[in-house]
Amino acid sequence: MSVDLTPVLNPVRDLGGFIREQREAAQISLRGLAAKAGVSNPYLSQVERGLRRPSADILAQIAQGLSISVESLLIKAGVLPAAESSAVVAAIRSDTELSERQKAAMVDIYQAFRAESAAAKASTDGGTTSSVGPEADSHPAQTSKTDPQRVSGEE
């Protein structure tokens, strides 16, 4: 009697293939990623070939070494549920034209904008008025309080 291990092994192989794909896209050698992630070369090779299933901590180190979001790697590993927070995030994640790194960057930017909007709304709802006009949208690094033109309106 033989036991079919395919349902157990396929997710691990998919994860390993995903890690290898991300490593190659980032043009990082196996040794380079192993060093960045703090694991041995043979161990990382076994992960990429689907022979080992790394812990969440090791996955986080690998994600950091690849400069991708830990969340996307943990979802791919099945450690975190793939519950999408919005239709926008679902659309980004389902786009086949984008790499996982691009998807992660877009989701991070989208979520940062959402958090910024929620914070602005909370401060407005809390009785604080926000500034209106072109300066409200300027980046803090672009605005200098010591700039005489900005302070006095003169050149």
CB neighbours (10 Å) of residue 137? 8
> Mean of the pLDDT values across residues 39-60?
91
Query: What CATH number did the domain enclosing 32 receive?
Result: 1.10.260.40
pLDDT at 47: 93
Would you say residue 93 has pLDDT above 60?
Answer: yes
Q: What is the pLDDT of residue 28?
A: 94
Give every CB contact of residue 16 below 8 A, 6+ residues apart in sequence.
Answer: 47, 48, 49, 50, 51
For residues 10-28, average pLDDT: 81
Indicate whether 117 and 49 sit together in one domain: no
The answer to whether residue 148 sits within a structural domain is no
User: Structural domain tally of the chain?
Assistant: 2
Mean pLDDT value of segment 12-20: 80
Above 50 in pLDDT, residue 151? no
Regarding whether 54 and 1 lie in a shared domain, the answer is yes
Residue 75 structural domain: 1-81
pTM above 0.95, yes or no: no
pLDDT of 40 reads: 96
Q: Are residues 47 and 77 in the same domain?
A: yes
Shared domain for 17 and 42, answered yes or no, is yes
Rounded Cα distance between 46 and 37, Å, is: 14
76 and 111 in a single domain? The answer is no
Q: Is residue 152 part of a domain?
A: no
The pLDDT of 13-32, averaged and rounded, is 89
Mean pLDDT of the chain: 74
Residue linked to tokens 């050698």: 29
> Quick check: is 155 in a domain?
no
